[in-house]
Amino acid sequence: MLKGKRDILIQKIKKHFKNPVLRAKDIGDLSEVGRFADKSWQEVSIEDINVTYSLFFFSPRGFHYFLPAFLLNALSNPEKINPMTIEGLIRDLGAFDNFNHSSTSVKKLFTKQQQKIILEFLTEADYLFIYINPSLKQMTIRGKNYWERRNSELRDLLDAARDYWSN
């Protein structure tokens, strides 16, 4: 993804994700995501998301509320993001409803415009994170076969997530 395209996507996220404030008790498993309890999604840092790895521990409402923080940090700091965080983000975008034991489909919480932005993020994610992130590049150099397989699995996750958000 070219920097200009990335900047446009960042602006779209900031414009279209104006989610109302969420109470700490509604965000999810506080033993896992407690660091987010007193923050707005705009205050979440790259360090916060690199420690959390996954949106899985959030409730559907917590997922909806904090997803823009994960997207913005990933787009703004592709060279600093933990590869486990990217894998978790992409997996969760494609399968959150399968793992979450709520009757609420997370996709229904997003507006059509937000869903389009998520799909746009996923469309560009393979280039941005497989080819730009130095950690992923180094891992690929160190263990070519293993990381080629992991990158293939990541692409499969991306395909599943794209399918989910495009329907």
The encoded tokens of residue 96 equal 């959150």
Q: Give the pTM.
A: 0.78
Q: Phi first, then psi: what are they for 59, rounded to 5°?
A: -70, 170
Write the pLDDT tens digit of every residue in 96-151.
Answer: 555 555 555 777 888 889 988 988 888 777 666 665 555 555 544 444 454 455 56
Write the pLDDT tens digit of every residue in 5-29.
Answer: 889 999 999 999 987 777 777 888 8
Query: Rounded to whole angstroms, how far apart are CA atoms 90 and 164?
Result: 11
Torsion of CA 107, 110, 16, 117, to 10 degrees: 20
What is the reported pLDDT for 144? 46
What is the reported pLDDT for 104? 59
Q: Phi first, then psi: what are they for 94, rounded to 5°?
A: -95, -20
pLDDT confidence tier of residue 94, bands split at 50, 70 and 90: confident
**Orientation angle between helical segments 83-99 and 112-125, nearest 10 degrees:** 140
Query: Rounded to whole angstroms, how far apart are CA atoms 61 and 59?
Result: 5
**Orientation angle between helical segments 60-76 and 83-99, nearest 10 degrees:** 160
Higher pLDDT, 14 or 30: 14
Query: Rounded to whole angstroms, how far apart are CA atoms 10 and 112?
Result: 17
pLDDT confidence tier of residue 71, bands split at 50, 70 and 90: very high
Helix (H, G, I), strand (E, B) or coil at 44: coil
